[in-house]
A and B are shown apart, each in its own frame.
Chain A
Amino acid sequence: TQLLEQSPQFLSIQEGENLTVYCNSSSVFSSLQWYRQEPGEGPVLLVTVVTGGEVKKLKRLTFQFGDARKDSSLHITAAQTGDTGLYLCAGARAAGNKLTFGGGTRVLVKP
């Protein structure tokens, strides 16, 4: 059992649709990061959230950190084919602690 559980594991949608990816844990995290990984490349950071209830927007991507800092979600509005990739959440249990990565959600946006 992973410390951070991501769901769903795989998501296939048509261009223009919306999607939400979830990252859940029974543990509290001091901060949580979201990365996107494209085929053949390493993950790249999208956002870091540190405050319970925090909402951050990055163009069509909306990230939310749960009030209790145990979960997070990533919502993509009007998905585009360029959003295709593996989305990973990663959390630090306390400031200065190593990151723990979730299992990832593979998103496929079809034209």
Chain B
Amino acid sequence: NAGVTQTPKFRVLKTGQSMTLLCAQDMNHEYMYWYRQDPGMGLRLIHYSVGEGTTAKGEVPDGYNVSRLKKQNFLLGLESAAPSQTSVYFCASSRGNSYEQYFGPGTRLTVT
């Protein structure tokens, strides 16, 4: 099993550009999450999904959109990137909200 995979691993964007980060899991998990990790801030939840076709806002949703068209995939979109969105983005999945979360390897995004 691959677990949770993320693409791309690295990306550099100019301010105002858009991009989509792709997360895929092969564990048949219902729940999927997108976090950002900044120095000293731990993991902050951006958006999450409790099942195919559903999404919900997390702690820091502004500037991001998500879609869960298939159970195994969770997409994170940046419509107009800003330097404040420079961060490392992690996707995770779990059986349920309080259960162990399995993380992908992360995407390092730099917005100049």
Q: Which residues of A contact B (CB under 8 A)?
A: 2, 6, 9, 30-31, 33, 40-45, 48, 88, 90, 92, 94-99, 101-104
Q: State the main secondary structure of chain B at its contact with A.
A: loop
Q: Does B86 contact A (CB under 8 A)?
A: no
Complex CA distance for A40 and B108, rounded to whole angstroms: 9
Q: Mark B41-60, 1 if CB is under 8 A from A, else 0.
A: 11111001000000000100
Complex CA distance for A99 and B58, rounded to whole angstroms: 11
Q: Which of B14-22, B66-74, B75-83, B98-106 contacts A (4 or more CB under 8 A)?
A: B98-106
For the complex of A and B, 6 pairs with smallest distance between CB atoms:
A42-B103, A92-B98, A101-B43, A103-B42, A101-B42, A45-B100
A42 contacts B42, C-beta separation under 8 Å: no
Given A2-B42, A88-B42, do A42 and B98 touch, yes or no (CB 8 Å)? no
When distances are taken between beta carbons in the complex, the residues of chain B under 8 Å from A88 are: 42-43
Q: Mark B79-112, 1 if CB is under 8 A from A, else 0.
A: 0000000000010100011101101111000000
Given A33-B100, A92-B97, A98-B48, do A42 and B41 touch, yes or no (CB 8 Å)? no
Q: State the main secondary structure of chain A at its contact with B.
A: loop
When distances are taken between beta carbons in the complex, the residues of chain B under 8 Å from A92 are: 97-98
When distances are taken between beta carbons in the complex, the residues of chain B under 8 Å from A98 are: 45, 48, 58, 97-98
Question: Nearest CB to that of B90 among chain A residues?
Answer: A42
Q: List 25 A-B contacts (CB under 8 A).
A: A33-B100, A40-B105, A41-B106, A42-B105, A44-B103, A48-B100, A88-B42, A88-B43, A90-B43, A90-B101, A92-B97, A96-B97, A96-B98, A97-B97, A98-B58, A98-B97, A98-B98, A99-B97, A99-B98, A101-B35, A101-B43, A101-B44, A103-B41, A103-B42, A104-B42
Given A9-B40, A88-B42, A98-B45, do A42 and B97 touch, yes or no (CB 8 Å)? no
Question: Nearest CB to that of B104 among chain A residues?
Answer: A42
Q: Does B32 contact A (CB under 8 A)?
A: no
Partner of B98, one of A40, A44, A95, A102: A95
